[in-house]
C-alpha cells in the first residue's frame, strides 16, 4: 500500500489519488484513543496524519474525497456482534475521526465489519435515496460479501438506517463528474440491483 508515498504507516493508514478522487484508508483497529486492538505506534500519529492529509487535498483536482475504514460508527447492531460489548459500532472511532471528516468535507465514509449492506440516512434521518448536499459524509457499510461464516442478522435496527440488506452482494460507485455520483448495491446470486442512491454536491 502507498503508505511511504503518502506519509502513512505500513498497510495501516495511507492515501492516494485515483482520477479525480482522493482516497484515505485508516486503521479502525489501532492508533487512536481507546482503539479496539491497541496501538502500533501511539494514539496521536494516525489522527494527526489524517488532519494533515485532508488539509492538503486540492479539491480543484480531486473534488471527491472518500475515507475507508474497517469499522462503522453508525448503523444497526447484529446478533453476531453482541459479544463485541462496548466496541459495537465503534464509538471510539467516531470520537477520533468524525469531526475531522466533517471539517474537511469528506464525501463518503465506507466501512465493513458488519456482514451486511447498510446506508445511513442523510441530514438527521430523512429516508430518501437522494443525497443532495448532505451536511456530512455519506455513511455506507458494505460488508455483505466474503464472509465464510455467512452474513449477519439484525438485532437492533438503527433509527437513522435508510436501507439494510443482508443478502450477499457488492457495491459499485460511479462518479459522473465533480458534482454527481451514484452508488448501487447488487445481489451476487443474480446481479439484481437492490439499492441505488444519487449523490449531488454543490461545489
Residue 125 pLDDT class (50, 70, 90 cuts): confident
Return the pLDDT at 25: 98
Separation in Å, CA 187 to CA 62, 63, 71: 30, 30, 22
CA proximity to 158, closest of 66, 81, 68: 81
Burial class (CB in 10 A: 0-12, 13-18, 19+), 165: middle
Whether residue 194 is contained in a domain is answered as no
The pLDDT of 2-19, averaged and rounded, is 96
CATH number of the domain enclosing 15: 3.60.21.10
pLDDT of residue 103: 97
Q: What is the mean pLDDT of the chain?
A: 91
Model confidence over 12-50: pLDDT tens digits? 999 999 999 999 999 999 999 999 999 999 999 999 999
pLDDT of res. 83: 52
- Position 154 scores a pLDDT of 76
Q: How many domains does the chain have?
A: 1
Q: Is the pLDDT of residue 71 over 80?
A: yes
Q: Is residue 61 part of a domain?
A: yes
Domain that holds residue 52: 3-169
Amino acid at each position: 500500500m502507498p503508505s511511504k508515498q503518502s506519509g502513512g504507516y505500513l498497510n495501516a493508514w495511507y492515501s492516494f489519488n485515483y482520477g479525480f478522487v482522493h482516497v484515505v484508508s485508516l486503521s479502525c483497529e489501532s492508533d487512536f484513543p481507546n482503539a479496539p486492538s491497541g496501538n502500533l505506534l501511539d494514539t496521536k500519529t494516525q489522527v494527526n496524519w489524517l488532519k494533515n492529509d485532508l488539509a492538503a487535498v486540492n479539491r480543484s483536482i480531486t473534488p471527491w474525497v472518500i475515507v475507508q475504514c474497517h469499522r462503522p460508527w453508525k448503523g444497526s447492531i447484529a446478533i453476531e456482534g453482541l459479544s463485541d460489548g462496548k466496541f459495537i459500532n465503534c464509538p471510539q472511532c467516531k470520537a477520533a475521526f468524525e469531526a475531522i471528516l466533517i471539517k474537511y468535507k469528506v464525501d463518503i465514509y465506507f466501512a465493513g465489519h458488519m456482514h451486511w449492506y447498510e446506508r445511513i440516512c442523510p441530514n438527521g434521518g430523512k429516508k430518501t435515496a437522494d443525497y443532495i448536499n448532505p451536511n456530512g459524509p455519506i455513511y455506507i457499510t458494505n460488508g455483505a460479501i466474503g464472509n465464510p461464516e455467512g452474513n449477519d442478522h439484525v438485532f437492533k435496527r438503527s433509527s437513522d438506517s435508510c436501507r439494510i440488506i443482508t443478502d450477499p452482494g457488492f457495491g459499485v460507485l460511479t462518479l459522473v463528474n465533480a458534482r454527481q455520483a451514484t452508488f448501487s448495491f447488487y445481489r451476487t446470486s443474480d446481479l439484481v440491483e437492490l439499492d441505488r442512491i444519487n449523490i449531488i454536491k454543490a461545489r
